[in-house]
Structure 1
Amino acid sequence: MTRTLASLDLAPVLPLWLLLVLAAVALAALIPALVRRARGAWWRALAFLLVLGALANPRLVQQTRETRPDIALLVTDRSASTEVGDRAAAIEAARAAIEARAGRLPDLELRTVVAEEGGNQGTRLFAAAERALADIPRARLAGVIAITDGQVHDVPRSWPGDAPFHVLLPGRQGETDRRLRVIEAPGFGIVGRSVDIRLMVEDLGVAAAQPGGPVRLTLRRDGAAPRTETVPAGREHRIAIPIERGGPSVVEITAEERPGEVSTLNNTAVVAINGVRDRLRVLLVSGEPHAGERTWRRLLKADPNVDLVHFTILRPPEKDDLTPLNELALIAFPVRELFQQKLRDFDLIVFDRFSNRGILPPQYLRNIADYVRQGGALLMSVGPEFTGPSSLAATPLGTVLPARPVPGSGAVAETAFRAQVTEAGLRHPVTEGLAGANPAADAAATWGRWYRYLRADARGGNVILGAPGGSPLLITDRVQEGRVALLLSDQIWLWSRGHDGGGPQAELLRRIAHWLMREPELEEEDLTAAIANGRLTVTRRSLADAAPPEVTVTAPDGTVTRRTPERTGVAARSRTCP
């Protein structure tokens, strides 16, 4: 609507204060004449008025004004939570009704903005509103109307401006819902200790007015067998989660369904806890001295996070000739303390060219075998001592070893050779992509040569490094809950000396140790999923060369999607599925 207005405007030639002074002077000159009623007083007054009026410079201003309507903002929530039940239909009907009513108001302009799904960031409703308000003059803003289910994750402390803010919530009278809310969950935890997750089970709606009863929670970690706990509704509860390995552990917590609740989607919470090792405790037991013994010690001591206990056993524990301790160059090995009382305090046990010439009783070797079966880690680097009657393979420890030396005098082979990554080793994370390794099973490696290996029969595990004639050189194996690695040569130290070009000794041993301690990035059988930019990527790593299985993905709304993964790597056999 257009309107024309006229007004008188002053644009004085002189400053206003000076005009006032002149007016005061003129008035002072006129008052005596007017009091005496002198002739011509009124003419002088008219002259003064005309002069002051000319100096005030009056102007007639004529304006044509156009009335601009007020602007109202309508924010519609289209996040994933609005798809529960018939919320989406109710929101759409409310939006259409508001737009229809606003269209009948002549002095109101309605602008509509949609708050889309924010992925991991949740519902960013106020962020969408603020982007739209940037184009609206605050003087014309009539108000903001939000149609949402109430699940908003960017609510500001205070609403900017003085415009009213209205919220419409879709729903029915008497609705109830159960929600599992994680109050606090640690992002990290020390391996071997427990962390607490603080949570609360809340009954919303009509159920909130009723006294909270016991609720059964189901906890599942890393896909293992579930366990249940009973917690009171409406009260904070702590759940202790033991951290058993390094890397991320995914804990899924589900509250039992309440009869008649709107949705069970918020009955489940997923918490990721990254396990870190405080200090790595390693027991290194050396047998007869050799050139590579110092290399093992230097390698393990180079890591400041490693607490190394190193013993070289050269005398049996029962040998005692009553020599005073201050005159002994060698002390009796504390076998009872290490292999019975404190054995499970170690994260990794390493035997380097150790032979059992009556040094360790069978009971202690049996303790080490039980330590492995119950989740321990054992690394053995063996030489000629692994053959013959004093071999550890002939003791109770041999029950957890993945190979035995071949009988006879041909068990020790002394010839120049280059370690070869096997077909399984090309896919195994311990030997995959090592510098100097052969790129294919039938190709040649370029790292330095070794000059001795043991011929052995592999009884289990995965042979990832091989010697000439198809003999195993490095075997990794899982024994119940624990892991074992067996290196059938004592000459890996040549790589650290740079002999014949050297090789990745430190990297290989680091990977072996981390695989033994079940670091997630070195799992040879692994299935991971990650969401980035609204895209789900599923990656499977496997030593099997068979065709990848079909992947089934179930969305929060129950939609099931099936995809056949594609191979994206030859060595690692990594497959992704969008």
Structure 2
Amino acid sequence: MCPHFSTGWGNDAMTSTIVFDPLLPWWLIALLALVTACGIALALVRGLSGWPLRALAGAVILAALTGPVYQQEDRKPLTDIVLLLEDESASQRLAERGETTASAAETLAARIEARDNTELRRITVPDGTDNAGTEAMTALSEALAEEPRGRIAGAILLSDGRIHDMDRAPDMPAPLHLLHTGRSDDWDRRLRIDNAPAFAILGEEVSMTLTITDEGAAPEGVRDVPLDISIDGDEPQRFNVPLGREIELPLSLPHGGRNVLQFTTPYVDGELTDRNNTALVQINGVRDRLSVLLVSGEPHAGGRTWRNLLKSDSSVDLVHFTILRPPEKQDGVPVRELSLIAFPTRELFLEKIDDFDLIIFDRYKRRGILPSIYLENVRNYVEKGGAVLIAAGPDFASADSLYRTPIEPIVPARPTARVIEERYRPKVSELGQRHPVTAGLEQEFDGEWGRWMRQIEVEQTAGDMVMTGKDDRPLLVLDRVGEGRIALLASDHAWLWNRGYEGGGPQLELLRRLAHWMMKEPELEEEALWAEATGQRMRIIRRSLSGDIGDVTITSPSGETFERSLEEVSPGRFETQFGGPEIGLYRLENGDQSAVIGLGPAAPVEFEQTIASAAPLAPMLEQSGGGALALEDGMPRIRDVRPGRPAAGRGWIGLTPRGAFETASVTQTALLPAWAVLLLISALVVGGWLREGRR
């Protein structure tokens, strides 16, 4: 293509250019040119006087084959586009960064819009969803996708430089500049928790790593800083820990279920924020193994069922104590010699009774094997927090009943001495529909429950009757005694369900729930309040045996309170939804129930690093030719720079004019019309022939 010239008027420009539209492929034209050159060379060797005219004719033919065209374009210049990104993420709301950003944006917008042939695109960069941080590169990529890259003259980012999506950085067609909002005297104290487990075994220590560091222009000479640790919102304990060093924290969880641990170092005047001075860690406490003592009386069909159910669970350590030979059998054998080896009754019921999580008496009656002092120790064990389950058989209604021992004050029902030997179908009582041990049992087992054949008649004296038997008599009664719990199952025919009699029933699920309730597992508490968090929202759940529970009070981390009414979604279960306005620890209260829950991440990514820095953007700034300047040094001047030249310096940033245009119309005129080419070639060929002929 030849050089072109243009003439313009107004905002439009007329550009003229000579272009080529060859009639044959270029390689074939080049071959013809070689053949022509050989022919002329041959004419020279032979001394033909007409070779100049022949050479001109060949040149005209080759020129005609290249198809030269005179092209005129009517072009309309397009404006350059400048992208201005304003970071409005959480870290930009620290100190005076928000006001600095807003003021700088207005000043830059005015200067850019005052430039000739320039358009401005203002883009807001909000907080990323799901704790994603500042997604400035995502916003920049989306803006570039909406504009012609050939018109982009530059991009300016107003931010603290803490960008969290650099993996999405686009290929910039023009300089990118960072005008950061930080100040040289900014400093911040940060608390960080590492290696926090999602769950921990009760009674065993868990270890976490805690580090408190000062960043930026922090005060010098500080060695130790205070650290407050609280569990479930209780009164915190204060410790002094070294600054800038990793500290191993051994902790033991106080209870099963969710434990909310809060670590805080107090705010110090002058630091940027206290949002990263606190870390929330939520750990679920689980039991390693369940230690169970099973005391069986007279052998019966259900004894093996109890043993098999407990032994099938790998998390259960079972000690089984069975009286196989009653002492009333007069054969002269001392009671202490009724077993092949001496059973450690003293060790079990006096010395190590507190090591058991659950004691089960299965059809046990007084036979002189366990002295009254041992059973009195069982009562004390329950009152101090232990759990006892009595599976009653006909022995419970006899004169040798376990009820007529020192444990009588803690048993929730009194036997009437009557044993009902009739078929009946166990069912959940009205109260049991609301109790977590039996609520929904009918839905757990699809089909009608099988019948039992025997029930011990008892009169309820305490606790909650959650299942009934024949003529709605108490079948399963639960009660709290002191700090412990006791359950009475007034039948020894639960094994029929396990054998599938008449279709069976939910024996395994019932016993699992019963054991977990007695172990004080939070999810089976009949009076409980807790919440489940999803992002910044929580689902508040209240379980109660009462039908009237009132509103729940929610206290935010900043102390603001909210009231929410609870709706009963199933018998004994009430729920409501709440969206937390801020990240942190929320307190819930309803009557005598309270709970805590942490909303949001343990350490929001926006506050992990709060000191302004251009380091994350450095590779991209270098690649695009842009620079990083601090707004505290004043607003930079804006210059035009050529592509490929440095576009930033002390006190100034550069934009690259693109000179983009839109072609309105194109007119093409052939330089060598066919008739003129034919006439000229003919004249040259004939002239060469005549010259040679005259010679």
* TM-score interval, smaller chain: 0.7 to 0.9
| Range 92-101 or range 337-346, more displaced | 337-346
Tell me, in whole angstroms, the C-alpha distance in 2 between the residues paired with 1:532 and 1:27: 83
Tell me, in whole angstroms, the C-alpha distance in 2 between the residues paired with 1:479 and 1:79: 54
Write the deviation string for residues 350-406 of structure 1: whole angstroms up to 9, x where unpaired: 22122343323455445545554555443222234335664444555556x352525
Write the deviation string for residues 184-238 of structure 1: whole angstroms up to 9, x where unpaired: 211232343222222212233332x524432332223334554333322222222
The amino acid that maps onto 1:451 is R
Q: TM-score when scaled to structure 2? A: 0.70
Going from structure 1 to structure 2, the CA distance change for 1:358 and 1:206 (only over 3 Å counts) comes to farther
Report the counterpart of residue 369 of structure 2 in structure 1. Answer: 359
Write the deviation string for residues 485-538 of structure 1: whole angstroms up to 9, x where unpaired: 332332322333444554322211111112223333222222223344754332
Report the counterpart of residue 290 of structure 1 in structure 2. Answer: 300
Report the counterpart of residue 20 of structure 1 in structure 2. Answer: 30
Tell me, in whole angstroms, the C-alpha distance in 2 between the residues paired with 1:3 and 1:479: 97
Report the counterpart of residue 571 of structure 1 in structure 2. Answer: 571
Q: Pick one of 105, 109, 114 that aligns with 1:99.
A: 109
Q: Using CA pairs below 8 Å that are at least 6 residues apart, which structure has the higher relative contact order?
A: 2
Tell me, in whole angstroms, the C-alpha distance in 1 between the residues paired with 2:244 and 2:459: 63
Q: Which runs of 5+ in 1 are unaligned?
A: 439-444
SS in 2 for 1:455: strand
Write the deviation string for residues 31-58 of structure 1: whole angstroms up to 9, x where unpaired: 4656898533321221111111112222
Deviation of the 1:332 alpha carbon = 3.1
SS in 1 for 2:211: strand
Q: Pick one of 40, 52, 69 that aligns with 2:50.
A: 40
Alignment of 1:16-415 (within 5 A): 16-31=26-41, 39-80=49-90, 82-83=92-93, 87-118=97-128, 120-126=130-136, 127-148=138-159, 154-156=164-166, 159-162=169-172, 164-170=175-181, 174-207=185-218, 210-224=220-234, 226-243=236-253, 246-314=256-324, 330-339=340-349, 343-362=353-372, 364-365=374-375, 368-369=378-379, 371-373=381-383, 375-387=385-397, 390-398=400-408, 401-406=410-415, 410=417, 412=419, 414=421
The amino acid that maps onto 2:189 is R
Deviation of the 1:571 alpha carbon = 0.3
Q: Pick one of 518, 521, 524 that aligns with 1:522.
A: 524
Asked whether 1:448 is paired with 2:451, we answer: yes
Going from structure 1 to structure 2, the CA distance change for 1:215 and 1:498 (only over 3 Å counts) comes to same
RMSD: 3.8
Tell me, in whole angstroms, the C-alpha distance in 1 between the residues paired with 2:87 and 2:526: 44
The amino acid that maps onto 2:547 is D
Deviation of the 1:3 alpha carbon = 3.5
Deviation of the 1:239 alpha carbon = 1.8
Going from structure 1 to structure 2, the CA distance change for 1:376 and 1:231 (only over 3 Å counts) comes to farther
Write the deviation string for residues 322-367 of structure 1: whole angstroms up to 9, x where unpaired: 99x9xx9744323345445654554433221223433234554455
Going from structure 1 to structure 2, the CA distance change for 1:168 and 1:518 (only over 3 Å counts) comes to farther
Going from structure 1 to structure 2, the CA distance change for 1:276 and 1:550 (only over 3 Å counts) comes to closer
Going from structure 1 to structure 2, the CA distance change for 1:28 and 1:199 (only over 3 Å counts) comes to same
Tell me, in whole angstroms, the C-alpha distance in 2 between the residues paired with 1:450 and 1:141: 87
Write the deviation string for residues 93-151 of structure 1: whole angstroms up to 9, x where unpaired: 34333333332233444333334444542425244444434334555444444444566
Tell me, in whole angstroms, the C-alpha distance in 1 between the residues paired with 2:412 and 2:492: 16
Deviation of the 1:576 alpha carbon = 0.8
Q: Pick one of 428, 432, 437 that aligns with 1:430.
A: 437
Asked whether 1:485 is paired with 2:487, we answer: yes
The amino acid that maps onto 2:120 is L
Going from structure 1 to structure 2, the CA distance change for 1:68 and 1:433 (only over 3 Å counts) comes to same
Tell me, in whole angstroms, the C-alpha distance in 2 between the residues paired with 1:474 and 1:354: 17
Alignment of 1:410-559 (within 5 A): 410=417, 412=419, 414=421, 416-435=423-442, 448-449=451-452, 451-459=454-462, 461-466=463-468, 472-499=474-501, 502-532=504-534, 534-554=536-556, 558=558
Write the deviation string for residues 461-508 of structure 1: whole angstroms up to 9, x where unpaired: 433234568754323334455433332332322333444554322211
Given that 1:541 and 1:572 are in contact with CA atoms closer than 8 Å, whether structure 2 keeps it comes out as yes
Deviation of the 1:563 alpha carbon = 2.5
Tell me, in whole angstroms, the C-alpha distance in 1 between the residues paired with 2:453 and 2:179: 76
| Range 49-58 or range 380-389, more displaced | 380-389
Going from structure 1 to structure 2, the CA distance change for 1:119 and 1:37 (only over 3 Å counts) comes to closer
Going from structure 1 to structure 2, the CA distance change for 1:383 and 1:120 (only over 3 Å counts) comes to farther
Write the deviation string for residues 53-82 of structure 1: whole angstroms up to 9, x where unpaired: 112222223334444444443333444555
The amino acid that maps onto 1:193 is E
Given that 1:95 and 1:147 are in contact with CA atoms closer than 8 Å, whether structure 2 keeps it comes out as yes
Tell me, in whole angstroms, the C-alpha distance in 1 between the residues paired with 2:233 and 2:405: 36
Tell me, in whole angstroms, the C-alpha distance in 1 between the residues paired with 2:438 and 2:205: 33
Q: TM-score when scaled to structure 1? A: 0.83
Given that 2:397 and 2:456 are in contact with CA atoms closer than 8 Å, whether structure 1 keeps it comes out as no
Given that 1:386 and 1:405 are in contact with CA atoms closer than 8 Å, whether structure 2 keeps it comes out as no
Tell me, in whole angstroms, the C-alpha distance in 1 between the residues paired with 2:482 and 2:93: 46
Tell me, in whole angstroms, the C-alpha distance in 2 between the residues paired with 1:15 and 1:538: 78
Given that 1:405 and 1:411 are in contact with CA atoms closer than 8 Å, whether structure 2 keeps it comes out as no
Given that 1:73 and 1:143 are in contact with CA atoms closer than 8 Å, whether structure 2 keeps it comes out as yes
Deviation of the 1:436 alpha carbon = 7.2
Given that 1:143 and 1:164 are in contact with CA atoms closer than 8 Å, whether structure 2 keeps it comes out as yes
Tell me, in whole angstroms, the C-alpha distance in 2 between the residues paired with 1:148 and 1:526: 46
Deviation of the 1:296 alpha carbon = 1.4
Report the counterpart of residue 441 of structure 1 in structure 2. Answer: none
Tell me, in whole angstroms, the C-alpha distance in 2 between the residues paired with 1:178 and 1:532: 28
Going from structure 1 to structure 2, the CA distance change for 1:342 and 1:448 (only over 3 Å counts) comes to same
| Range 2-11 or range 160-169, more displaced | 160-169
